[in-house]
Amino acid sequence: MRETWRWFGPADEITIPEIVQTGAQGIVSALHHVPTGEVWSPAEIAKRKAEIAGAPDAPSGLTWDVVESLPVSEAIKTQTGDWRAHFDAYRQSLHHLAAAGIKVICYNFMPVLDWTRTNLAHPVPGGGRAMHFELADFVGFDLFTLARPGAVDDYPDDLREEAARRHAARSEAQQAALARNIVAGLPGAAEHWDIADVRAALASYAGIDAARLRTHLADFLSEVVPTAEALGLRLCCHPDDPPFPLLGLPRIVSTADDYASLVAAVPSPANGITFCTGSLGVDPGFDPASFIARLGPHIHFVHLRNTTRGPMRGGRCSFTESAHLAGDTDMVATIRALMAEQARRADEGRTDAIIPMRPDHGHALLSDLDRPMMPGYPLIGRMRGLAELRGIMAACR
Protein backbone atom coordinates (compact mmCIF):
# COMPACT_ATOMS: atom_id res chain seq x y z
CA MET A 1 0.00 0.00 0.00
CA ARG A 2 1.07 3.59 -0.52
CA GLU A 3 1.86 5.20 2.84
CA THR A 4 0.25 8.60 3.24
CA TRP A 5 -0.14 11.14 6.04
CA ARG A 6 -2.97 13.53 6.79
CA TRP A 7 -1.93 17.18 6.79
CA PHE A 8 -4.33 20.04 7.46
CA GLY A 9 -2.35 22.63 5.58
CA PRO A 10 -0.49 25.66 6.95
CA ALA A 11 -2.71 25.68 10.06
CA ASP A 12 -1.41 22.22 11.01
CA GLU A 13 1.12 22.35 13.84
CA ILE A 14 2.99 19.47 12.19
CA THR A 15 5.15 20.67 9.31
CA ILE A 16 5.91 19.13 5.94
CA PRO A 17 9.63 18.66 6.87
CA GLU A 18 8.53 16.71 9.95
CA ILE A 19 6.26 14.51 7.84
CA VAL A 20 9.16 13.76 5.51
CA GLN A 21 11.00 12.28 8.49
CA THR A 22 8.15 9.83 9.18
CA GLY A 23 8.88 8.07 5.89
CA ALA A 24 5.40 8.75 4.49
CA GLN A 25 5.26 8.85 0.70
CA GLY A 26 2.23 11.05 0.09
CA ILE A 27 -0.12 13.56 1.69
CA VAL A 28 -3.84 13.48 2.40
CA SER A 29 -5.18 17.02 2.60
CA ALA A 30 -8.08 19.34 1.79
CA LEU A 31 -8.91 23.00 1.40
CA HIS A 32 -10.43 23.21 4.85
CA HIS A 33 -10.66 26.99 4.68
CA VAL A 34 -13.08 26.93 1.73
CA PRO A 35 -16.69 26.98 3.01
CA THR A 36 -18.69 23.87 2.29
CA GLY A 37 -20.66 24.19 -0.93
CA GLU A 38 -18.22 26.54 -2.65
CA VAL A 39 -15.98 25.68 -5.61
CA TRP A 40 -12.36 24.73 -5.00
CA SER A 41 -10.53 27.01 -7.41
CA PRO A 42 -7.55 25.91 -9.52
CA ALA A 43 -5.45 28.58 -7.80
CA GLU A 44 -6.18 27.28 -4.29
CA ILE A 45 -5.58 23.67 -5.35
CA ALA A 46 -2.26 24.65 -6.95
CA LYS A 47 -1.28 26.56 -3.82
CA ARG A 48 -1.87 23.50 -1.62
CA LYS A 49 0.07 21.27 -4.03
CA ALA A 50 2.98 23.70 -3.88
CA GLU A 51 2.90 23.82 -0.08
CA ILE A 52 3.14 20.04 -0.02
CA ALA A 53 5.88 19.84 -2.65
CA GLY A 54 8.11 22.36 -0.84
CA ALA A 55 10.38 25.06 -2.22
CA PRO A 56 12.19 24.40 -5.54
CA ASP A 57 15.54 24.43 -3.75
CA ALA A 58 14.29 22.12 -0.97
CA PRO A 59 11.65 19.75 -2.41
CA SER A 60 9.84 17.53 0.06
CA GLY A 61 9.44 14.60 -2.30
CA LEU A 62 5.80 14.39 -1.16
CA THR A 63 2.76 14.58 -3.42
CA TRP A 64 -0.89 15.36 -2.74
CA ASP A 65 -2.34 11.85 -3.21
CA VAL A 66 -5.80 11.98 -1.64
CA VAL A 67 -8.35 14.71 -0.97
CA GLU A 68 -9.93 14.29 2.45
CA SER A 69 -12.47 15.58 2.29
CA LEU A 70 -14.35 17.37 -0.44
CA PRO A 71 -17.27 17.91 1.92
CA VAL A 72 -20.91 17.26 1.13
CA SER A 73 -23.05 20.11 2.41
CA GLU A 74 -25.95 19.72 4.82
CA ALA A 75 -28.05 21.30 2.05
CA ILE A 76 -27.27 18.33 -0.21
CA LYS A 77 -27.92 15.82 2.59
CA THR A 78 -31.31 17.39 3.39
CA GLN A 79 -32.10 18.58 -0.16
CA THR A 80 -32.93 22.05 1.07
CA GLY A 81 -31.72 25.57 0.32
CA ASP A 82 -29.02 25.81 -2.34
CA TRP A 83 -28.57 22.06 -2.72
CA ARG A 84 -28.79 22.04 -6.52
CA ALA A 85 -26.20 24.81 -6.78
CA HIS A 86 -23.99 22.78 -4.43
CA PHE A 87 -24.10 19.87 -6.90
CA ASP A 88 -22.81 22.23 -9.59
CA ALA A 89 -20.02 23.45 -7.29
CA TYR A 90 -19.08 19.87 -6.37
CA ARG A 91 -18.79 18.84 -10.00
CA GLN A 92 -16.74 21.93 -10.82
CA SER A 93 -14.37 21.16 -7.94
CA LEU A 94 -13.96 17.63 -9.30
CA HIS A 95 -12.97 19.08 -12.68
CA HIS A 96 -10.36 21.30 -11.02
CA LEU A 97 -8.93 18.45 -8.93
CA ALA A 98 -8.70 16.17 -11.97
CA ALA A 99 -6.87 18.89 -13.89
CA ALA A 100 -4.39 19.06 -11.01
CA GLY A 101 -3.77 15.31 -11.24
CA ILE A 102 -5.43 14.33 -7.94
CA LYS A 103 -7.42 11.14 -8.41
CA VAL A 104 -8.80 9.97 -5.03
CA ILE A 105 -11.54 12.03 -3.37
CA CYS A 106 -12.85 11.07 0.08
CA TYR A 107 -16.17 12.37 1.46
CA ASN A 108 -18.75 11.37 4.06
CA PHE A 109 -22.52 11.50 4.41
CA MET A 110 -22.86 11.85 8.19
CA PRO A 111 -25.70 14.18 9.15
CA VAL A 112 -24.79 17.26 11.26
CA LEU A 113 -21.91 15.86 13.33
CA ASP A 114 -18.80 14.35 11.81
CA TRP A 115 -16.67 12.08 13.99
CA THR A 116 -17.86 12.44 17.57
CA ARG A 117 -15.88 12.05 20.80
CA THR A 118 -16.52 13.15 24.38
CA ASN A 119 -12.85 13.39 25.42
CA LEU A 120 -10.10 14.48 23.05
CA ALA A 121 -7.25 13.78 25.51
CA HIS A 122 -8.23 10.70 27.51
CA PRO A 123 -5.36 9.33 29.65
CA VAL A 124 -4.10 5.88 28.64
CA PRO A 125 -1.66 3.57 30.45
CA GLY A 126 1.93 4.69 30.09
CA GLY A 127 1.17 8.40 30.14
CA GLY A 128 -0.18 9.00 26.63
CA ARG A 129 -3.49 10.53 25.58
CA ALA A 130 -6.19 9.18 23.26
CA MET A 131 -9.61 10.19 21.98
CA HIS A 132 -12.51 8.55 23.77
CA PHE A 133 -16.29 8.29 23.45
CA GLU A 134 -18.08 7.85 26.77
CA LEU A 135 -21.65 6.86 25.95
CA ALA A 136 -23.20 8.00 29.25
CA ASP A 137 -21.55 11.43 28.91
CA PHE A 138 -22.89 11.80 25.38
CA VAL A 139 -26.36 10.81 26.54
CA GLY A 140 -26.13 13.42 29.31
CA PHE A 141 -25.22 16.06 26.75
CA ASP A 142 -28.16 15.02 24.56
CA LEU A 143 -30.67 14.95 27.42
CA PHE A 144 -29.62 17.91 29.55
CA THR A 145 -27.33 20.29 27.63
CA LEU A 146 -28.81 20.04 24.16
CA ALA A 147 -32.21 19.10 25.66
CA ARG A 148 -33.25 17.51 22.38
CA PRO A 149 -36.98 16.81 22.15
CA GLY A 150 -37.62 13.08 22.10
CA ALA A 151 -34.14 12.19 23.35
CA VAL A 152 -35.53 10.43 26.41
CA ASP A 153 -37.10 7.78 24.17
CA ASP A 154 -33.77 6.87 22.54
CA TYR A 155 -32.04 5.37 25.56
CA PRO A 156 -32.76 2.59 28.07
CA ASP A 157 -33.64 3.54 31.65
CA ASP A 158 -30.34 2.48 33.19
CA LEU A 159 -28.35 4.53 30.69
CA ARG A 160 -30.49 7.62 31.28
CA GLU A 161 -30.04 7.25 35.02
CA GLU A 162 -26.26 6.94 34.72
CA ALA A 163 -26.16 9.91 32.37
CA ALA A 164 -28.13 12.00 34.88
CA ARG A 165 -25.73 11.12 37.70
CA ARG A 166 -22.66 11.96 35.63
CA HIS A 167 -24.21 15.19 34.39
CA ALA A 168 -25.09 16.32 37.91
CA ALA A 169 -21.54 15.62 39.11
CA ARG A 170 -19.96 17.89 36.47
CA SER A 171 -19.36 21.57 37.06
CA GLU A 172 -20.63 24.13 34.57
CA ALA A 173 -17.12 24.44 33.18
CA GLN A 174 -16.87 20.66 32.74
CA GLN A 175 -20.25 20.57 31.02
CA ALA A 176 -19.15 23.35 28.67
CA ALA A 177 -15.92 21.49 27.88
CA LEU A 178 -17.86 18.30 27.11
CA ALA A 179 -20.17 20.21 24.78
CA ARG A 180 -17.21 21.76 22.97
CA ASN A 181 -15.65 18.33 22.44
CA ILE A 182 -18.87 16.90 21.02
CA VAL A 183 -19.65 19.74 18.61
CA ALA A 184 -16.01 20.44 17.70
CA GLY A 185 -16.31 18.97 14.22
CA LEU A 186 -13.36 18.16 12.01
CA PRO A 187 -9.98 19.69 12.80
CA GLY A 188 -9.13 22.53 10.47
CA ALA A 189 -12.67 22.91 9.14
CA ALA A 190 -13.98 26.32 8.06
CA GLU A 191 -17.20 25.87 10.04
CA HIS A 192 -17.30 25.75 13.85
CA TRP A 193 -20.57 24.91 15.53
CA ASP A 194 -22.15 25.77 18.86
CA ILE A 195 -25.25 24.42 20.62
CA ALA A 196 -27.59 26.78 18.77
CA ASP A 197 -26.09 25.70 15.43
CA VAL A 198 -26.60 22.03 16.29
CA ARG A 199 -30.23 22.62 17.28
CA ALA A 200 -30.89 24.45 14.03
CA ALA A 201 -29.20 21.70 12.02
CA LEU A 202 -31.21 19.00 13.77
CA ALA A 203 -34.41 20.86 12.90
CA SER A 204 -33.45 20.74 9.22
CA TYR A 205 -33.56 16.93 9.40
CA ALA A 206 -37.15 16.79 10.63
CA GLY A 207 -38.91 14.04 8.71
CA ILE A 208 -35.69 12.59 7.26
CA ASP A 209 -35.43 8.95 8.28
CA ALA A 210 -32.84 6.39 7.20
CA ALA A 211 -34.73 5.45 4.03
CA ARG A 212 -35.02 9.07 2.91
CA LEU A 213 -31.39 9.83 3.72
CA ARG A 214 -30.36 6.80 1.63
CA THR A 215 -32.37 8.24 -1.24
CA HIS A 216 -30.56 11.56 -0.84
CA LEU A 217 -27.21 9.75 -0.87
CA ALA A 218 -28.20 7.91 -4.05
CA ASP A 219 -29.24 11.25 -5.57
CA PHE A 220 -25.85 12.75 -4.67
CA LEU A 221 -24.07 9.79 -6.26
CA SER A 222 -26.20 10.05 -9.39
CA GLU A 223 -25.23 13.71 -9.69
CA VAL A 224 -21.46 13.43 -9.16
CA VAL A 225 -20.31 9.89 -10.00
CA PRO A 226 -20.73 10.23 -13.79
CA THR A 227 -18.53 13.34 -13.70
CA ALA A 228 -15.95 11.57 -11.56
CA GLU A 229 -15.91 8.54 -13.86
CA ALA A 230 -15.49 10.70 -16.97
CA LEU A 231 -12.55 12.45 -15.29
CA GLY A 232 -10.89 9.20 -14.13
CA LEU A 233 -11.45 10.01 -10.45
CA ARG A 234 -12.22 7.63 -7.59
CA LEU A 235 -14.76 8.87 -5.04
CA CYS A 236 -14.74 7.01 -1.72
CA CYS A 237 -17.26 7.42 1.11
CA HIS A 238 -16.00 7.36 4.71
CA PRO A 239 -18.09 5.37 7.20
CA ASP A 240 -20.12 6.85 10.02
CA ASP A 241 -18.01 7.52 13.11
CA PRO A 242 -19.24 6.06 15.39
CA PRO A 243 -21.33 3.58 13.39
CA PHE A 244 -24.61 4.07 15.26
CA PRO A 245 -27.30 6.78 15.35
CA LEU A 246 -26.61 9.98 17.30
CA LEU A 247 -28.99 12.77 18.31
CA GLY A 248 -31.95 11.01 16.75
CA LEU A 249 -30.37 11.22 13.29
CA PRO A 250 -30.08 8.24 10.92
CA ARG A 251 -26.68 6.85 10.03
CA ILE A 252 -26.60 4.96 6.76
CA VAL A 253 -22.90 4.15 6.09
CA SER A 254 -22.08 1.98 9.10
CA THR A 255 -21.91 -1.64 7.91
CA ALA A 256 -20.84 -3.83 5.01
CA ASP A 257 -24.50 -4.06 3.96
CA ASP A 258 -24.70 -0.26 3.88
CA TYR A 259 -21.66 -0.14 1.63
CA ALA A 260 -23.04 -2.85 -0.62
CA SER A 261 -26.12 -0.66 -1.11
CA LEU A 262 -23.96 2.41 -1.73
CA VAL A 263 -21.89 0.86 -4.53
CA ALA A 264 -24.98 -0.75 -6.05
CA ALA A 265 -26.86 2.57 -6.11
CA VAL A 266 -24.67 3.93 -8.93
CA PRO A 267 -22.43 1.14 -10.27
CA SER A 268 -19.17 2.69 -11.42
CA PRO A 269 -15.43 2.33 -10.84
CA ALA A 270 -15.64 5.90 -9.54
CA ASN A 271 -18.12 5.01 -6.76
CA GLY A 272 -16.18 3.44 -3.91
CA ILE A 273 -15.25 3.06 -0.28
CA THR A 274 -12.96 4.62 2.28
CA PHE A 275 -12.23 1.56 4.40
CA CYS A 276 -11.78 2.91 7.95
CA THR A 277 -11.12 0.13 10.44
CA GLY A 278 -11.44 2.54 13.36
CA SER A 279 -14.96 3.65 12.52
CA LEU A 280 -16.28 0.31 11.31
CA GLY A 281 -14.52 -1.54 14.14
CA VAL A 282 -16.73 -0.01 16.83
CA ASP A 283 -19.47 -2.33 15.55
CA PRO A 284 -18.99 -5.71 17.28
CA GLY A 285 -20.14 -7.44 14.10
CA PHE A 286 -17.32 -5.96 11.98
CA ASP A 287 -15.07 -8.55 10.33
CA PRO A 288 -12.42 -6.76 8.26
CA ALA A 289 -11.33 -9.78 6.23
CA SER A 290 -14.92 -10.64 5.31
CA PHE A 291 -15.62 -7.01 4.42
CA ILE A 292 -12.61 -6.96 2.07
CA ALA A 293 -13.53 -10.32 0.53
CA ARG A 294 -17.01 -8.98 -0.23
CA LEU A 295 -16.29 -5.37 -1.22
CA GLY A 296 -12.52 -5.17 -1.77
CA PRO A 297 -12.71 -4.16 -5.46
CA HIS A 298 -14.51 -0.96 -4.42
CA ILE A 299 -11.97 0.15 -1.77
CA HIS A 300 -10.13 3.25 -2.98
CA PHE A 301 -8.59 4.49 0.27
CA VAL A 302 -7.76 2.95 3.65
CA HIS A 303 -7.64 4.35 7.18
CA LEU A 304 -5.92 1.96 9.59
CA ARG A 305 -6.92 2.64 13.18
CA ASN A 306 -8.00 0.56 16.15
CA THR A 307 -10.51 0.91 18.95
CA THR A 308 -11.47 -0.92 22.13
CA ARG A 309 -15.21 -0.89 22.72
CA GLY A 310 -17.24 -1.29 25.87
CA PRO A 311 -20.46 -3.27 26.33
CA MET A 312 -23.33 -2.54 23.95
CA ARG A 313 -26.15 -0.59 25.59
CA GLY A 314 -29.23 0.10 23.52
CA GLY A 315 -27.32 -0.52 20.30
CA ARG A 316 -24.47 1.85 21.24
CA CYS A 317 -21.26 1.63 23.24
CA SER A 318 -18.37 3.57 24.71
CA PHE A 319 -14.99 3.14 23.01
CA THR A 320 -11.39 4.29 23.28
CA GLU A 321 -8.98 4.73 20.41
CA SER A 322 -6.28 2.11 20.88
CA ALA A 323 -2.73 1.73 19.69
CA HIS A 324 -2.77 0.57 16.08
CA LEU A 325 -1.94 -3.07 16.89
CA ALA A 326 -4.12 -3.23 20.00
CA GLY A 327 -7.91 -3.01 20.22
CA ASP A 328 -10.69 -5.14 18.82
CA THR A 329 -9.68 -5.19 15.13
CA ASP A 330 -7.17 -7.80 13.97
CA MET A 331 -4.81 -5.52 12.08
CA VAL A 332 -2.64 -8.34 10.78
CA ALA A 333 -5.63 -10.09 9.19
CA THR A 334 -6.82 -6.74 7.83
CA ILE A 335 -3.53 -5.90 6.12
CA ARG A 336 -3.11 -9.45 4.81
CA ALA A 337 -6.55 -9.23 3.16
CA LEU A 338 -5.83 -5.76 1.73
CA MET A 339 -2.55 -6.92 0.24
CA ALA A 340 -4.29 -9.93 -1.31
CA GLU A 341 -6.79 -7.50 -2.85
CA GLN A 342 -3.90 -5.47 -4.27
CA ALA A 343 -2.40 -8.60 -5.80
CA ARG A 344 -5.75 -9.51 -7.34
CA ARG A 345 -5.99 -6.03 -8.89
CA ALA A 346 -2.47 -6.26 -10.26
CA ASP A 347 -3.34 -9.58 -11.90
CA GLU A 348 -6.33 -7.86 -13.52
CA GLY A 349 -4.13 -5.04 -14.77
CA ARG A 350 -5.94 -2.37 -12.79
CA THR A 351 -4.14 0.97 -12.68
CA ASP A 352 -5.22 1.44 -9.05
CA ALA A 353 -3.67 -1.80 -7.78
CA ILE A 354 -1.74 0.07 -5.07
CA ILE A 355 -4.21 1.42 -2.51
CA PRO A 356 -3.33 4.57 -0.55
CA MET A 357 -3.48 4.12 3.21
CA ARG A 358 -2.78 6.30 6.20
CA PRO A 359 -2.29 5.66 9.89
CA ASP A 360 -5.45 7.17 11.34
CA HIS A 361 -5.33 9.06 14.61
CA GLY A 362 -3.01 7.61 17.24
CA HIS A 363 -2.06 8.22 20.86
CA ALA A 364 -0.37 11.46 21.79
CA LEU A 365 3.05 10.33 23.08
CA LEU A 366 6.33 11.85 24.27
CA SER A 367 6.84 15.30 22.72
CA ASP A 368 3.24 15.24 21.41
CA LEU A 369 2.23 16.05 24.97
CA ASP A 370 4.28 19.27 25.00
CA ARG A 371 3.01 20.90 21.79
CA PRO A 372 -0.34 21.91 20.34
CA MET A 373 -1.84 19.60 17.73
CA MET A 374 -5.05 18.87 15.87
CA PRO A 375 -7.13 16.56 18.11
CA GLY A 376 -6.43 12.95 17.19
CA TYR A 377 -3.51 13.78 14.89
CA PRO A 378 -0.26 13.63 16.88
CA LEU A 379 3.17 13.36 15.30
CA ILE A 380 4.89 10.72 17.44
CA GLY A 381 1.78 8.61 17.95
CA ARG A 382 1.00 8.43 14.25
CA MET A 383 4.64 7.80 13.39
CA ARG A 384 4.62 4.86 15.79
CA GLY A 385 1.44 3.59 14.16
CA LEU A 386 2.86 3.97 10.67
CA ALA A 387 6.01 2.09 11.68
CA GLU A 388 3.97 -0.77 13.15
CA LEU A 389 1.72 -0.98 10.08
CA ARG A 390 4.77 -0.83 7.80
CA GLY A 391 6.19 -3.81 9.66
CA ILE A 392 3.05 -5.85 9.10
CA MET A 393 3.08 -4.99 5.40
CA ALA A 394 6.71 -6.06 5.12
CA ALA A 395 5.94 -9.36 6.86
CA CYS A 396 2.94 -10.02 4.59
CA ARG A 397 4.84 -9.53 1.33
Task: Express each pLDDT in 3-21 by its tens digit.
Answer: 999 999 999 999 999 999 9
Q: What is the mean pLDDT of residues 217-234?
A: 98
Q: What is the mean pLDDT of residues 67-78?
A: 96
The rounded percent of the chain whose pLDDT value lies above 90 is 94
Task: Place 216 in a pLDDT band, splitting at 50, 70 and 90.
Answer: very high
pLDDT at 185: 61
What is the Cα Rg of the chain in Å? 20
Q: What is the pLDDT of residues 234-251, one digit of tens each?
A: 999 999 999 999 999 999
The larger pLDDT score, comparing residue 184 to residue 226, is at: 226
pLDDT at 190: 52
Q: Measured in whole angstroms, how far is the alpha carbon of residue 374 from the centre of its chain?
A: 14
Task: Place 194 in a pLDDT band, splitting at 50, 70 and 90.
Answer: confident
Q: Is 107 a residue of the active site?
A: no
pLDDT at 186: 53
Q: Is 90 a residue of the active site?
A: no
Q: What is the mean pLDDT of residues 202-210?
A: 94
pLDDT at 168: 97
Residue 278: is its pLDDT beyond 70?
A: yes
Q: Is 122 a residue of the active site?
A: no
pLDDT at 305: 97
Q: Is 300 a residue of the active site?
A: no
C-alpha span between 9 and 31 (Å, rounded): 8
Annotated catalytic residue, options 65, 361, 363, 368: 361
Annotated catalytic residue, options 65, 241, 287, 360: 360
Residue 193: is its pLDDT beyond 80?
A: no
Annotated catalytic residue, options 238, 300, 324, 363: 238
Q: Is 317 a residue of the active site?
A: no
Q: What is the mean pLDDT of residues 270-297?
A: 98
Residue 187: is its pLDDT beyond 60?
A: no
Q: Is 238 a residue of the active site?
A: yes
* 311 class by beta-carbon count within 10 Å (0-12 exposed, 13-18 middle, 19+ buried): exposed
Q: What is the pLDDT of residues 145-183, one digit of tens each?
A: 999 999 999 999 999 999 999 999 999 999 999 999 998
CA atoms within 13 A on the CB side of 321: 36
User: What is the separation, in whole angstroms, between the first and last Cα of the chain?
Assistant: 11
Which residues contact residue 287 at a Cβ distance below 8 angstroms, ignoring those fewer than 6 apart?
none
C-alpha span between 15 and 38 (Å, rounded): 27
Which residues contact residue 122 at a Cβ distance below 8 angstroms, ignoring those fewer than 6 apart?
129, 130, 131, 132, 320
Annotated catalytic residue, options 300, 303, 324, 363: 303
